[in-house]
Amino acid sequence: MRRALTAAALALSLAACQGQTSTEPPIVPVRQMHEQPRYDAQEPGGYFPDGRAMRPHVEHTVAREMEVDLTIDTGLEGQARYVDTIPPDVIDGFRGMPALLARGEDRYGIYCVPCHGALGDGAGMVPEVSGVGTIRPPTFHDDRVRRMPDGQVYATIRNGLRNMPAYRHNVPVRDRWAIVGYVRALQLSQMDGR
């Protein structure tokens, strides 16, 4: 009998907690984690003389992942002309073309094979599975693509083109150049006497 009363009282007390709002403040064990003294984005602050809480970038500083050579970063020489070949500094950064091609093969397998296929022929699984059989990625073995400068292939990876999204946020700069090198190796491997 006593157990039944205890169980009934417990069930009743738990049922009373359902859906009830409390006027009491929440219990916060570590108050500093709940109410942190901080500024929100774009909020004015009184600490600095200019009245801004957000600080501007320090001049002449470069983030670790930022590429300082614009030719390497964009694939362009100057403002309008694509570079013809992979920049020598990129090849030197990989300590030679074999390491660049190995990295390119690895990255190509991750980012490019789903659409462009393992041979670069545009027969990847995404166009097949998506049910949109008429919109296929181009084959890398087309003469138009073979004649493209390396900088243009790089810019396509970086910025995207038509249905292909930009990979600038997914693939680091040096890896994009490695993919370009591997695409060129694929083109050579699939040449049929041309």
- 25-60 pLDDT, tens digit per residue, is 777 777 666 677 778 888 888 888 888 888 877 777
Mean local confidence (pLDDT), 175-180: 92
- Exposed, middle or buried: residue 173 (CB in 10 Å: 0-12, 13-18, 19+)? buried
Nearest 5°: the CA angle 72, 176, 110 is 170
pLDDT-derived band at 102 (thresholds 50, 70, 90) equals: very high
d(CA 103, CA 86): 14
Q: Which residues pair with 44 in a beta bridge?
A: 52
d(CA 32, CA 6): 39
pLDDT-derived band at 2 (thresholds 50, 70, 90) equals: confident
Give per-residue pLDDT as tens, 122-156: 777 877 776 655 677 888 888 888 899 988 899 99
> Which domains are seen in the chain, by residue range?
81-189 (1.10.760.10)
Taking alpha carbons only, the member of 153, 141, 159 closest to residue 178 is 153
